[in-house]
Chains A and B, each alone.
Chain A
Amino acid sequence: MPVVDYAGQSIEVNEEGFLVDSSQWTPEVAEAIARDIGIDALSDQHWKVITFCREDAANQGTPPGLRRISKNSGVNMKELYQLFPKGPGKLAAMVSGLPKPQGCI
């Protein structure tokens, strides 16, 4: 799998750019992933989402769905689409260093 340089660290990602090992994530890594997907700077609102996603995934074992994020992070659905255009569920997971939301197959 590809290894990329994020914030001076060598980080292994899968073909789609998701971190292979979530424990390699740092806030600086999040900033670097965000830049890679076209988000120039992470705002406080982005960080509300990222913090919720990481805490929730640590409890649940899976990244949260969009409804769960919009109900619990303090950022509503409309704003989620503004913060993470073209797919907030997947992109929020990616910036948070989590696997992408998956089905069973």
Chain B
Amino acid sequence: MKNLVILGAGTAGTTVGNMLRKKLPSDWSLKIIDPDTDHLFQPDLIFIPFEMQTPEKTIRPRKGTLGKGIEWIQRPVQRVDADKNQVILDGDERVPYDLLVIATGSHIRPEETPGLLGDEWQKSIFDFYTLEGSVALRDALKKFEGGRVVVNTVEMPIKCPVAPLEITFLAESFFTEKGIRDNVELTYVTPLDGAFTKPIAAKALGGILDDRGIKVEAEYNASEVDVDRKVLRSYDEREIPFDMLITIPTHMGAGFIEESGLGDDLAFIPTDRHSLIADNHDNIFVLGDATDLPTSKAGSVAHFQAEVVVDNVLHLIQGESPKAVFDGHANCFIESGYGRAMLIDFNYEQEPLPGVYPLPTVGPFPLLKESKFNHWGKLMFRHVYWHALLPGHPIPVPNHMSMVGKKRPAKLTADAELAS
């Protein structure tokens, strides 16, 4: 009997497991290792603070998400011994593998920034990347009557790179609807050189923060929080006072990746951008947020990568070379407040463009533009996630990014032609 072992039963690991369980040859066993009892639908974490979703509806028992034929080992991983092809659990129990799939995601590390986890944590400083953080922020917002609200991304890369913008838009919309907008000074603080850094998106959406009275503090690398004074400080000693700090802390890969020597300085695993095989180990696949790839850490990426990993696992088992190729494809809804959302679709090579998705002319989802349709699409996706994506059923969107329906703005097309 040969063993395929998946580490992590989030979006990526669960999808790969459920796709593979029907396709693996009968002499292969399939195990998933994950210590958590529940599966969390992470896209809803941005809605909980504004009571647009309840915590109860964002989680489901993990047991029901893993199909027949998958053995779930509910234990934490201590280490991977890649030389011996073994996963080591607590108590030095060893799980051997012939092929390993690592899908253990990206996790916030507030302890990397001095002051974040001090006395103000979950009193006036909040994260929204965990269920606890999101609920604590909800409770604080209920009582909030006004003051300086600062949304800060400590450093890149982060999971769901558009989430800081979404939480800012949703907060602005929430304060307006609550009738306290005039009492709130809202500041978006980013290590990048603006809220929008891609030329076409910046042109299409650049004015949106200004229109809503949201200040932007750019190229800001947060070094610490002065808890007593409630001030965020940067390495170049810019100080930003706050009454409520919504932080997007440093993200890192799972702790055991550091222990195993498999990751980079943020414990993300160097991975071949096309085959999704680990750079240093030809029997280890990596997908989802756990990779070091230059695409977004996002659920859509995990889904597109899952199909590539499944194909390449089957190629390797049949003694063939890994033929399936991941192109960096990501698509993300971006909640923009007031019941509307935007949509972006891009890959390694192509930045987000305007147009419609997924079908030409009829869409129905407009790209790089606010619309109620997109908000509706984001909410409908909950159903697709639990009933189609996670169980590994086919979803009617192309795996590779398509240019169909997209339009390059005229001026940039002319520039590109001149350059070529």
User: Chain A interface (Cβ within 8 Å of chain B)?
Assistant: 1, 12, 20, 59-62, 65-68, 71-72, 77-78, 80-81, 85-87, 89-90, 100-105
Name the A residues within 8 Å of B161 (CB-CB). 103-105
B334 x A105 contact (CB < 8 A):
yes
A89 x B221 contact (CB < 8 A):
yes
A87 x B265 contact (CB < 8 A):
no
If A61-B294, A72-B265, A81-B235 touch, whether A100 touches B197 (CB-CB below 8 Å) is yes
Closest Cβ of chain B to A16, distance in Å, is 8
Pick from A59, A61, A65: contact of B155, CB below 8 A.
A65
Name the B residues within 8 Å of A20 (CB-CB). 419
Q: Is B79 interfacial (CB 8 A cutoff)?
A: no
**5 residue pairs, one from A and one from B, having the closest CB atoms:** A102-B197, A62-B294, A87-B219, A61-B294, A105-B201
If A81-B235, A102-B197, A102-B198 touch, whether A1 touches B419 (CB-CB below 8 Å) is yes
B235 x A105 contact (CB < 8 A):
no
Docked CA distance A21–B352 (Å): 21
Pick from A61, A80, A86, A104: contact of B296, CB below 8 A.
A104
Q: How many residue pairs at the A-B interface have CB separations less than 8 Å?
A: 86
Docked CA distance A90–B157 (Å): 15
Pick from A61, A87, A101: contact of B156, CB below 8 A.
A101
If A20-B419, A81-B236 touch, whether A104 touches B273 (CB-CB below 8 Å) is no
| Chain B, 317-342, CB within 8 A of any chain A CB | 330, 332, 334
Name the A residues within 8 Å of B90 (CB-CB). none
Name the B residues within 8 Å of A102 (CB-CB). 192, 197-198
Name the B residues within 8 Å of A86 (CB-CB). 219, 236
User: Chain B interface (Cβ within 8 Å of chain A)?
Assistant: 155-157, 161-162, 165, 190-193, 196-198, 201, 205, 219, 221, 223, 235-236, 250, 264-266, 270, 273, 292-296, 330, 332, 334, 344, 346, 348, 352, 415, 418-419
Name the A residues within 8 Å of B344 (CB-CB). 104-105
A105 x B352 contact (CB < 8 A):
yes
Name the B residues within 8 Å of A103 (CB-CB). 156, 161-162, 190, 192, 196-198
Name the B residues within 8 Å of A62 (CB-CB). 294
Name the A residues within 8 Å of B273 (CB-CB). 61
Closest residue of chain B to A67 (Cβ to Cβ) is B155
Pick from B205, B219, B223, B266: contact of A90, CB below 8 A.
B219
Docked CA distance A89–B296 (Å): 19
If A67-B155, A89-B191 touch, whether A105 touches B198 (CB-CB below 8 Å) is yes
Closest residue of chain B to A12 (Cβ to Cβ) is B419
> Which of A67, A68, A72 has the most chain B CB atoms inside 10 A of its CB?
A67
17 A-B pairs (CB sep. < 8 Å): A1-B418, A1-B419, A20-B419, A60-B292, A61-B273, A65-B157, A65-B191, A66-B191, A66-B221, A68-B264, A72-B265, A101-B192, A102-B197, A103-B156, A105-B161, A105-B205, A105-B334
Name the B residues within 8 Å of A77 (CB-CB). 221, 223, 235
Docked CA distance A69–B346 (Å): 27
Pick from A1, A59, A101, A105: contact of B196, CB below 8 A.
A105
Known: A67-B266, A77-B223, A104-B346. 14 other contacts (CB 8 A): A1-B419, A12-B419, A61-B273, A61-B293, A65-B157, A67-B265, A68-B265, A89-B191, A90-B193, A100-B193, A103-B161, A103-B196, A105-B162, A105-B352
Closest Cβ of chain B to A104, distance in Å, is 5
Pick from A61, A72, A104: contact of B352, CB below 8 A.
A104
Closest residue of chain B to A21 (Cβ to Cβ) is B419
Closest Cβ of chain B to A14, distance in Å, is 8
Name the B residues within 8 Å of A60 (CB-CB). 292, 294
Docked CA distance A20–B348 (Å): 17
Closest residue of chain A to B279 (Cβ to Cβ) is A59
A1 x B193 contact (CB < 8 A):
no
Closest Cβ of chain A to B268, distance in Å, is 10
B155 x A87 contact (CB < 8 A):
no
> Which of A71, A100, A102 has the most chain B CB atoms inside 10 A of its CB?
A102
Name the B residues within 8 Å of A105 (CB-CB). 161-162, 165, 196-198, 201, 205, 334, 344, 352
Closest Cβ of chain B to A64, distance in Å, is 10
Docked CA distance A60–B271 (Å): 10
B265 x A71 contact (CB < 8 A):
yes
Name the A residues within 8 Å of B235 (CB-CB). 66, 77-78, 80-81
Name the A residues within 8 Å of B236 (CB-CB). 81, 85-86
